[in-house]
Amino acid sequence: MEVIEVQGTFTELGEGFGEACRDDIRGLYEARVLNAIEQAKEYGGKTVTEGHLIAIARASLPLVERYHPQGHEELVGIARGAGMDLVRVWVMNALTDLRDVAAYTDVALWAAPADGEGCSSFLLGPERASDGTGYAGQTWDLSTSNMPFVRIVRRRPKAGLATTCLTTVGCLSLIGMNEAGVAVGTTNIRTLDARAGVCYLDVIHKALHQGSLAAAVAAIEDAPRAGAHYFYLMDASGAAVALECSAAASARIPVAGAYVHCNHVLAQDILPLESQGTPVASSYARQGRLASLLASKPAHTSADLEGYLADHEGGVNAICRHDYNGISSNGSVIMNPATRRLRAVHGPACQGEWRTYEV
């Protein structure tokens, strides 16, 4: 997997990233606009255009700038480096949230989608790890068309914390960790209250700018979010927090030992908001299988965890996904905050080469 390293001011970080991936950023933008248009039709019965997505972005960007000025500066730099306008760069970053805003605005038009999209995540406390340190990780499952654009990005700002993350070209942090040992990841959920707001990558990026677990959690809970996501966080001590967030509400889920979350809502406070677009069969199957694997023995190694993310039990509903309904595991990440190291693989975990990256 290609590694991109950028340093400087927040604007310079973005400019370096945008220049390094200029052609690929344009390709990813085109693919994601197509994805959002197709999925708004599939999930919500809505016919939308690129213009609709841009209108949502224009309404959202002032909120992004107020919520996290440093992240906004980096987006401005990415746009400049890539030779694109800022609105389109944010559209590319905000795929799933834009899709939900476009789709979930009229209950009468909802339609049940194909049951496929999703990610499978875990938190493993120090007491359940063979080396006595905590681990957090996941598969990242989305349209297979995203796979050529996956990168590891190391950011070294002049002012602020260094980070290493898995993401896509021209995009803010997706799954990663900072030099303070705060790790953050996400899986998608769908709720009815999607709106103009900050996208999930804006939220994760700000969380990774924080020097403590508590501050990172606050960055997520206090965000004027555009759509729903589950976020998980862990620090170097192995302390962990699981957050289910709709656009307007959030709920902390108690975690202890091993905890698994896929793509259906678990928190009772969020459940009434869940949309009919949830990939129920796939998410429940992956949730049960990963929980079973983590319950199979008292302690697990990093190699065990890599194997679990490569598991094929369940066929089309397996943890490791191979272009089922156009959805693949585009990558997987396992983070060990105590050592400031993460392991990542490009593509389905059963096929690629796991590599170690340091913050």
| Helix axes of 86-93 and 95-103: crossing angle, nearest 10 degrees | 90
| Helix axes of 22-44 and 50-67: crossing angle, nearest 10 degrees | 110
> pLDDT tens-digit profile of 59-81?
899 999 999 999 999 999 999 99
Residues 318 and 329: beta-carbon distance below 8 Å: no
Check whether 216 has a pLDDT greater than 50. yes
Domains of the chain: 3-108 (no CATH), 121-358 (3.60.60.10)
Question: Distance of alpha carbon 249 from its chain centroid, rounded?
Answer: 18
Residues 359 and 178: beta-carbon distance below 8 Å: yes
Rounded to an integer, the average pLDDT of 96-107 is: 71
Which residues does residue 137 pair with via DSSP β-bridges, in sequence order?
122, 334
> pLDDT tens-digit profile of 163-172?
999 999 999 9
Is the pTM higher than 0.85? yes
Residues 324 and 116: beta-carbon distance below 8 Å: yes
> pLDDT tens-digit profile of 310-343?
999 999 999 999 998 888 999 999 999 999 999 9
Check whether 108 has a pLDDT greater than 50. no
> pLDDT tens-digit profile of 334-352?
999 999 999 999 999 999 9
DSSP letter for each residue of 80-145: HHHT--HHHHHHHHTHHHHHHHHHTT-GGG--PPPS-----EEEE-GGGBTTS--EEEEEEEEEGG
Please tell me the predicted confidence (pLDDT) of residue 52: 85
Q: Give whichever of 44-53, 112-121, 264-273 has the largest mean pLDDT.
A: 264-273
User: How far is CA 113 from each of CA 44, 52, 80, 190, 275, rounded to the nearest angstrom?
Assistant: 8, 21, 37, 12, 11
